[in-house]
Every structure is written in structure tokens, then in C-alpha cells.
Structure 1
Amino acid sequence: MSFPRIAHVALTVTDLERSVPWYRQLFGAEPVLDEDTGPFRHVVWALGDTLVGLHQFPDGRDDVPFDERRPGLDHLSFACADKAELAQWAARLDELGIRHGGIVEAGYGLGLSFRDPDGLPLEFFAPPA
């Protein structure tokens, strides 16, 4: 039996009205779901075989900023084929006015890191050249 693929990722945000347009531009797509479940509202995109959702809780805690050094999420990474594709995403982020750290090479691969409006760390990643 092999380990299953990742089906979805859900990120908690402080303000869907701010985050949904930002992610809509980043993904270049409309959400496939926008639903208030009662305990939270979520907006979801289908990116290939993976769903990426944003959750906002009515009693959310926005007084504590995100810190990847605390247990929990460190970052969410999107797969790219190679350095050329990373360069295309760097140019796209520039077009959108999204600050990023440039393409960084390491022994395990190449990354292009940036943050969403809540400071959640995101990355485009390619295997080593």
C-alpha cells in the first residue's frame, strides 16, 4: 500500500475579503467553492489534483501573527519543473506587486519564497538543476 497524495490544504486567514482577491490573482483562477459552514467560512480553489482552501473563523485570533518557528505550518510549496519555470513565476510575482526573495539554490532544490497578506509563507520549488 502506498501513501496517498495530498488531497487538500486549508489555510486560516484573518480577512477573506482581502485574501480571496490576492489568491485569485496568484492562482489566475476563480474559486470552485465559497461556503459558510457555520463554524467557519471557506473559499476553495482546485489546482490540479489538489484543493487549496482559505478558512476564516468568526472568532479568529488575529492578535497573534504567524510565526513558522511555532509548531504547525512552516510553509506551503508549489511544484515547478525547473529554474526556468521558477523565473517565470518570479516575473509573475513582480507583475502582481508581490515581494519575494528571488530564486535561491540549495543542494536539495531551488526555491522562490513569498508571503500572503497574512504573512503565511508560500514557495515555488523546483528539483536541483
Structure 2
Amino acid sequence: MDIVIHHLTLTVSNADTSANWYQELLGKASVISRQLEGAKRIRMQWDSGLVIGVTEFDSKAGSQVFSHLNVGLDHIGLQCASLEEIQIWSEKLKRLGFEHGPIEDAPYGWAVTARDPDNIPVEFYCPK
């Protein structure tokens, strides 16, 4: 039995801002927005099958800045097919004005990383 991740849901400071950012970066998605008890959730699904949810809770805990040093999520990794595709994403990030690092050449693959409105790293990655 193959196990794959079906969706990823992130806690964010502003669900609308985050949903807009992810759609500006990844393209328009099918969107379902719902009000939960004490939270707003927006679920985005792209034609590729990628599903990302963003949840804004009414009650906030502690710091509102993401840090990979905290227990939990370190980053989101989106697979690319080639170094050329990484370069295309890097150019798109630049064109959109999204803060991002240089293309990294690691022993196991190439990557370029941007940060969403809550500072969560979003990495475009291609294995070698």
C-alpha cells in the first residue's frame, strides 16, 4: 500500500492573506472557505492534486512569527522535475517580488526557498 500526503494545513495569522499568497505563487486553485468554531479555514486544491489548507484561529498563542526552531513544521517542500524548473520558480519568485534565497546546490538536490506571509519556508526542490 502506497502512503502519500493528501493535504497540508498550516496555522496562519491571516487566512485570506495566506490563501492569496499561495494562489499568486502556485496559480488559482479550487477554494472552499469555512468558518469553524473559533477559526476560519481556507482549503485550496490545484489541478495537480496538491491540497493546502490555511487556518486562522481567533485565539492566538505566543509569538506570531514562524520559526523552524520550534517543534513542528520545518518547511514545505514542493518537488520539481529538473534544475531548469527550479530556475523557472526562482525567476517567478523574483518577478512576484517574493523574498527568496539563491538556488542551493546540495549533494542530494537543488532547491530555492521562499517564505510565505507568516515566514513559513516554501521550498521548490529537485533531487539529483
Q: Which runs of 5+ in 2 are unaligned?
A: none
Tell me whether 1:57 sits opposite 2:63 in the alignment.
no
**Equivalent residue for 2:101?**
101
Q: Is the 8 A contact 1:31 1:43 kept in 2?
A: no
Question: How far off is 1:23 after superposition?
Answer: 1.6
TM-score, length-normalised on structure 2? 0.91
Q: Which runs of 4+ in 1 moved over 4 A?
A: none
C-alpha RMSD of matched pairs (Å): 1.5
**Equivalent residue for 2:79?**
79
Question: How far off is 1:30 after superposition?
Answer: 3.4
Q: Is the 8 A contact 1:101 1:112 kept in 2?
A: yes
Q: Is the 8 A contact 1:14 1:62 kept in 2?
A: no
The amino acid of 1:45's aligned partner reads M
The amino acid of 2:11's aligned partner reads T
Q: Which runs of 5+ in 1 are unaligned?
A: none
Alpha-carbon distance in structure 1 between the residues aligned to 2:29 and 2:59: 26
The amino acid of 2:125's aligned partner reads F
Count the aligned residue pairs: 127
**Equivalent residue for 1:36?**
35
Tell me whether 1:123 sits opposite 2:127 in the alignment.
no
Overall identity of the aligned pairs, in %: 31
TM-score, length-normalised on structure 1? 0.90
